Amino acid sequence: MIPKRSIKRLGLLVVCAFLLTDYLGAQKLIDSISTYYYSAERDSIYCLKHAYEYNDAGQLFSYSVFRWDTDRQRWEGGSFECEECNWNPGRYEYGYDLNGNQIASYAFEWWGFEIGWSVKSRTENDFDDYGNKVSSTGSWWDQTKQKWLLSSAQEFGYNESGRITSHVYYFRDSANTTWIPREQIQFSYDDDGRIIRQITDDWNTDLRNWVHVVREEWLYDSNGLIYVNSRWSKADTAYSWKEVTRRKTIKEFDSQGNLVLITDMDMVSGNRWSLVKEEERAYNASGQIILSVIRRGLGTLSEEFRTEWEYSQDGRLILEIKTGQMARFPGPLSIKSKYKVFRSFDEEGDFEKEIWYNWDYETQSYVFTSTDFYYYHPVTSGIPETASDNLVVYPNPTNGAVYFNGLAKPAEVKIYSIQGVLLRSFNHVEISVDLSDLPSGMYLMHVTEDYHSLLRTTLVKE
């Protein structure tokens, strides 16, 4: 049951209730998130709602976005059109197999309050016995013909360690009768499981064959990591790889082993290294990070992000303050703006409240824009929870590999999106898992050993 709460401002009473369930062996679930926006033009508060529904197994069944219509005083579907993406679905529905793999997803658009949601597209996935996605097919619903029309397909290959080795894209021809290759990506790894090469090819319809486009390489040595980007180009009569970008990343640690500085440098004319990015970190006496400053530029750097953390006397995270260019969803486009957000946490380390400020270039100051309230209720997952003080997961944040120290037996590791969608599943994990193919962002990791949940943690992929 959603608790009833209200906020009154200038005579307008609005209540937003969001259902969000985190079914990953948690001791509590997010019951609702209430977001209140301040509009200077209307001098009032209006709301946007993200609604989540779950099946009996605790898996995400649907996700919907709603907008509060202040004139009609009712919720309207949040799908919308945009030039860059043609349309943006406001609702998704998901299906799973018995192993928890997401085998289907449907996207819906809003056709007005009288009609409601109408299905627009679907994606169907196949998985192997290890939980690796091996194929995916996309279709569009033809309203006139009242049938599904195939539009795209993907195939994935893996090595014996479960690391992705190939990713092939296809599209359907205009007659919707034939699959045509579009792009393939091939991945290579060293003996330590680190990615060392990624080659992207495009399909040449005249040659009826794949042709090289981009090659990305990662070189590891004692001085740091070097990333090389090359393009397949023609010089005179022969094609060869031409280097476009060479970037060196160097990490520095303090005497306690804390990562205090990450430096990125690009190779420029004359084989000189020029500073383009750095992240500076600071820690308290307990080894907890208290400051991260990211600067970018060419030679001369300027601050892009600043994040500060505050802890209680017993070491519990209580406040995070982040400033920089961030995308504030929902909206027609994920346009980044200069924000400052204050995130507070409850006694169990979960989000309690977020207060957002937007930068006003006219007044050169931050202006309050919205507040998110998080509410929880107790829950049990059906999976026994056991504390594991000996289990250590590192590094976090990670740029690919995640290592485990303290596993007594091979474990099962599952990676979920923040919305609770299962993205990766690894079996018989003893030392590490590779997340290089996941985009940068925040994920949830669940580690299980002999049917006992050892760890549920938030993982950041850089």
The model's pLDDT over 64-105, given as tens digits with 9 standing for 90+, comes to 888 888 788 788 888 755 544 556 788 999 999 988 889 999
Residue 433, domain member (yes or no) = yes
pLDDT band at 169 (very low <50, low <70, confident <90, very high): very high
Residue 439 per-residue DSSP state: P
Which of 4-13, 215-224, 255-264, 318-327 is predicted least confidently?
4-13
Q: What is the pLDDT of residue 375?
A: 66
More confident residue, 306 or 398: 306
Q: Which of 234, 253, 272 is the last residue of a domain?
A: 253
Question: Is the pLDDT reported for residue 209 higher than 80?
Answer: yes
Q: What is the pLDDT of residue 453?
A: 66
Q: Which residues pair with 311 in a beta bridge?
A: 317
Mean pLDDT, residues 241-246: 94
pLDDT of 390:
67
For the chain, give the mean pLDDT.
Answer: 80
How many Å apart are CA 91 and CA 78, to the nearest integer?
8
The pLDDT of residue 2 is 26
Q: Is residue 165 part of a domain?
A: yes
Does some domain include residue 330? no
CATH number at residue 408: 2.60.40.1930
Q: Cα separations (Å) of 419 from 30, 58, 91, 98?
A: 11, 12, 13, 20
Q: Which of 156-165, 251-260, 444-453 has the lowest mean pLDDT?
A: 444-453
DSSP letter assigned to residue 88: B
Asked, for residue 42, whether it belongs to a domain, the answer is no
In sequence order, the β-bridge partners of residue 334 are none
User: Is 226 inside any structural domain?
Assistant: yes
Residue 61 gets the label, from left (phi > 0), alpha (psi -120 to 50) or beta, of: alpha
The answer, yes or no, to whether residue 380 has pLDDT greater than 50, is no
Among 16-20, 226-230, 417-421, 455-459, where is mean pLDDT lowest? 16-20
Report angle CA 323, 326, 329 to the nearest 5 degrees: 130
What local confidence, expressed as pLDDT, does residue 344 receive? 93
CATH of the domain at 172: 2.40.128.720
Q: What is the pLDDT of residue 364?
A: 92
CA atoms of 134 and 166, how far apart (whole Å): 10
267 vs 278: CA distance, rounded Å: 15
In-domain check, residue 24: no
At 16 the pLDDT is 34
CA distance readout (Å), 249 to 64, 143, 271, 277 = 40, 51, 16, 9
Last residue of a domain, one of 208, 234, 253: 253
CA distances for 107 relative to 77, 96, 119, 330, angstroms? 13, 16, 6, 16
Structure tokens at 18: 């969001």
Q: Of how many residues is the chain composed?
A: 462
Q: What is the pLDDT of residue 39?
A: 60
Q: What angle do CA 353, 342, 88 make, to 5 degrees?
A: 75
Asked whether the beta carbons of 111 and 81 are under 8 A apart, the reply is no
Q: Tell whether 214 is covered by a domain.
A: yes
Q: What is the span of the domain harbouring residue 454?
A: 384-462
pLDDT above 80 (res 166)? yes
- Residue 335: what are its φ and ψ, rounded to 5°? -75, 130
Model pLDDT, residue 87:
61
Q: pLDDT higher for 102 or 271?
A: 102
Note the pLDDT tens digit of each residue in 187-204.
999 988 889 999 999 999
Q: What is the mean pLDDT of residues 380-402?
A: 62
Predicted model pTM: 0.69
What whole-number distance in Å separates Cα of residue 392 and Cα of residue 204? 48
Number of folded domains that form the chain: 2
451 or 402: which carries more pLDDT confidence? Answer: 402
> Which residue bears the tokens 């485990």?
404
pLDDT in tens, 120-133: 999 999 999 888 89
* Residue 216 domain-assigned (yes or no): yes
pLDDT of residue 33: 65
CB count within 10 Å of CB 86 equals 7
| Beta-bridge mates of residue 53 | 62
